[in-house]
Structure 1
């Protein structure tokens, strides 16, 4: 593994903290890079990459840990990982503080092999280009079907690997040798509900997840058919249950079979962790590539190439969930908004991947951006139709809006398309209305008004001239001259319509309109004056 920084400490801890690692002493800045993993060897001291994590395998006593901390700090290490519970004596704390090294505890039950492989896979996730496939015990990392077949060969029985929801993640060959229930499980990739209910009633899952030994499931009679005996074992990483292994086999669980299942559990846990880390890494990497591509700059071209979009005509879309009307700032509301964002991203990714091959989607800050290939003008119209369909489909769960940028052929054009989509999205999220999908041509006026308002606010400018006089008069007298003028302009000078909009008699409205001209010192017969009044009122109202 290379010695350059691959990931930040904060990201590693966020991903692994609840499952495998805990900080027992010291503190590392969240943005500090992690450069590699070193396994402590008391006989042959290893080479320490800069900002490395040291795995203190076999180090248990304070007398052995204290000098290891000193040596790790001297060689550029940032943390030493030991098996929990850690005996934190004063000498150990002092050694850690003097060396500037944190102490981490590895959860009991988790293996050093699991930890080392997972850390290395996560540290390598930002590598550019393709790398040679990693293997775990001779099996390609994450290939659960190969693992299932290997376990099946050792047990001489058909095997499934399932998650905690009884969904089938992988299965071995020879499933036809099992019973009809197993065949139904394989076809549906899920344990049938009626069978799972019996397992719950018998307490099988309770026994399975509370024990680290194989659990025998006696045959079940269902639909006039008796199932074959099952032997299952939970798959764990530390205290976390990742899933389970199920073998359809008769006879007692011999010590050899039990040992095989326990060894298989460790291997499956390693592969499941690798799959999970790989999925998280892929999502983060894709988000980074999409971010580079839509923002332009020197790295955009490479990002487009890695996304498979280099040299293609594309359009940028921006999607977001509409903000809550009540503005709830509670922790629960924040969690619900985060869940809505994830659901929006997953739904948009699935929608575009199904109907627009080659599209790349990821969250950048609080916005889901999609880069969509568009071959011609007709394709641009199809992108708009796809966005409309997406918003309609997801509206029952999330009120979302989608902004569409113009088509672009190069890096600069893509960055401009993203900026345009962002401007359109702002209109859709800040101005209440029925429109949920828009291009710049649909909302250009509203976008300009918002930008004028921002410009005015940035200069610290407030209402002046006729508008300042009308606002001051309304404030002092309780009048409605500003609203009267706005209603008259909105109705193109149609007094009866404006009067109806403000619930006034036309004569009363005409009187107020005369007062507008007098107090504001404004000539309402002049076209330029009316335009200036409309513009200032719109900026103020927005």
Structure 2
């Protein structure tokens, strides 16, 4: 097989055409390599790199498309992608011809984040030539040619890393897999129930799989291994069992794909470590922060710090570590689709993101949207810092995000917050820390009530807390602790006498409320 060109627009259309992208109008230069992938932001005056493929997120009208095409022509862009269906008016056609920028349409159902990730993966891949040394998309097309069947290459988590052309010749389940870049749960569940994954991992031979539905094609799959480790798998939508020659070809291809996956993983590990070092240095705000921001491309931009974590126990487990890494990767992809200069890194059990936006309200909206997409199965929370105008503000922005994150991780219904949204809760947590560090114990009326409750198995502290929370409303407070209002009034009189507490004195009420708030549940139980 001859060597395919480095990732140019023609190459992109060969790999992604009919599945994700369609050429609407223009004559792509197949000899010119792409210089990068840029996301158009109407609020940002940034210039895309030379020979860029520009993703026109939110650009929909014919006038907007024509204006953007003419602007991109002056920056030597090779193509503009907008969401299908694309309005092809005389104005748009003229703008394509005038600018020399090809116009492409993104298939409905495919996400911008997915397209950006695939394009950047294609650009990141080295071009070493031939079937053996080509990238994953080259390998997928080569295997598809050998098997005469559309092929996907998937990682260990059933996420699609690359796919061949001709996916429109497969079936509905394959289309859903490509568009979602993940095997749909309804299909993976059936495969798991049939024991397909178990059989796949137990052998180094291809596994033939009967159709999942009445309208789907059979599959042939083979695990991609590096020694005893399973790196991923190759899946082909076939019309029947493979011949002996094609079986041998698929086995050989799996070994070549293993080399690619190992190289990708090694490159990703190096890039992840470098990105982590740069983000960590920037967040520290020391002498190296400005250089780190320069290398991240964030110098001179307002930046908001996002802090992502889970509310699960801090005790690390393999499953929790994997889940946190998955969330961090998902956040990185989500933010990069919105702004290509976003930088994300995991530091300890928190994933920090430097998100270049001019206000924290927009960042909060983005964080909320991300967690809505993730769903409630994962107990994740995101804290949002104020805007950091320069490097000296970044360490303070991180500290502010950390304070809000601590409140969110403590439980409750909030999943996103700025410090301003949870300031009182943060102050109380910090006051508890100070009291614990100094060995402070309850004093005055609260100490007397705790001692009385402990000695007599009473509930005077609970009664006082409910009354204070209800602002003195006996009916509401008694309902909260499930007793009759008359019983509650008796307990109020009793606690006032036992604790020598004047409930009509606002200073006494505030002092009691503050001590009750500062006491953790664990401390209160210990005293009781």
Which TM class, normalised by the smaller chain length? 0.5 to 0.7
What's the CA shift string for 1:337-389, capped at 9, x where partnerless? 233323322332232222344222222111122211122xxx42222122222
The one of 473, 477, 489 aligned to 1:494: 473
| Secondary structure of the corresponding residue to residue 292 of structure 1 | helix
The one of 297, 302, 310 aligned to 2:286: 297
**How far off is 1:406 after superposition?**
0.7
The one of 378, 400, 406 aligned to 2:380: 400
Q: Which residue does 2:399 correspond to in 1?
A: 419
User: Is the CA contact (8 Å cut-off) linking 1:290 and 1:362 kept in structure 2?
Assistant: yes
**2:403, 2:389 → 1: CA distance?**
20
Q: Which residue does 1:309 correspond to in 2?
A: 298
**1:492, 1:207 → 2: CA distance?**
64
The one of 307, 319, 322 aligned to 1:318: 307
The one of 365, 372, 389 aligned to 2:348: 365
- Closer/same/farther in 2, CA of residues 482 and 239 from structure 1, 3 Å limit: closer
Q: Which residue does 1:440 correspond to in 2?
A: 419
**How far off is 1:272 after superposition?**
3.5
- Closer/same/farther in 2, CA of residues 486 and 238 from structure 1, 3 Å limit: closer
Unaligned runs of 5+ in 2: 1-123, 209-213, 522-528
User: Is the CA contact (8 Å cut-off) linking 2:305 and 2:397 kept in structure 1?
Assistant: yes
- Closer/same/farther in 2, CA of residues 511 and 352 from structure 1, 3 Å limit: same
**1:361, 1:473 → 2: CA distance?**
53
Please show how residues 217-296 of structure 1 align to structure 2 within 5 Å.
Answer: 237-240=226-229, 269-296=258-285
What's the CA shift string for 1:281-324, capped at 9, x where partnerless? 22233233222222322332222222221221011111222226
User: Is the CA contact (8 Å cut-off) linking 2:125 and 2:135 kept in structure 1?
Assistant: no
**1:541, 1:418 → 2: CA distance?**
26
**How far off is 1:158 after superposition?**
11
Bigger radius of gyration among the two: 1
TM-score normalized by the length of structure 1: 0.55
User: Is the CA contact (8 Å cut-off) linking 1:208 and 1:232 kept in structure 2?
Assistant: no
Provide the aligned C-alpha RMSD in A.
Answer: 5.1
Q: Which residue does 1:429 correspond to in 2?
A: 409
What's the CA shift string for 1:507-538, capped at 9, x where partnerless? 44333323323322233332222211111111
TM-score normalized by the length of structure 2: 0.56
**2:142, 2:247 → 1: CA distance?**
15
Are 2:323 and 1:340 equivalent residues in the alignment?
yes
**2:174, 2:472 → 1: CA distance?**
72
- Closer/same/farther in 2, CA of residues 187 and 512 from structure 1, 3 Å limit: closer
Unaligned runs of 5+ in 1: 1-131, 218-222
**How far off is 1:470 after superposition?**
1.3
**2:200, 2:441 → 1: CA distance?**
70
**2:495, 2:201 → 1: CA distance?**
80
| Secondary structure of the corresponding residue to residue 434 of structure 1 | coil
Q: Which residue does 1:24 correspond to in 2?
A: none
User: Is the CA contact (8 Å cut-off) linking 1:134 and 1:140 kept in structure 2?
Assistant: no
Please show how residues 82-481 of structure 1 align to structure 2 within 5 Å.
Answer: 143-144=135-136, 162=153, 237-240=226-229, 269-323=258-312, 334-375=317-358, 379-430=359-410, 432-481=411-460
- Closer/same/farther in 2, CA of residues 244 and 519 from structure 1, 3 Å limit: closer
**How far off is 1:425 after superposition?**
1.1
Aligned residue pairs: how many? 378
- Closer/same/farther in 2, CA of residues 420 and 140 from structure 1, 3 Å limit: farther
| Secondary structure of the corresponding residue to residue 401 of structure 1 | strand
User: Is the CA contact (8 Å cut-off) linking 1:424 and 1:438 kept in structure 2?
Assistant: yes
- Closer/same/farther in 2, CA of residues 349 and 511 from structure 1, 3 Å limit: same
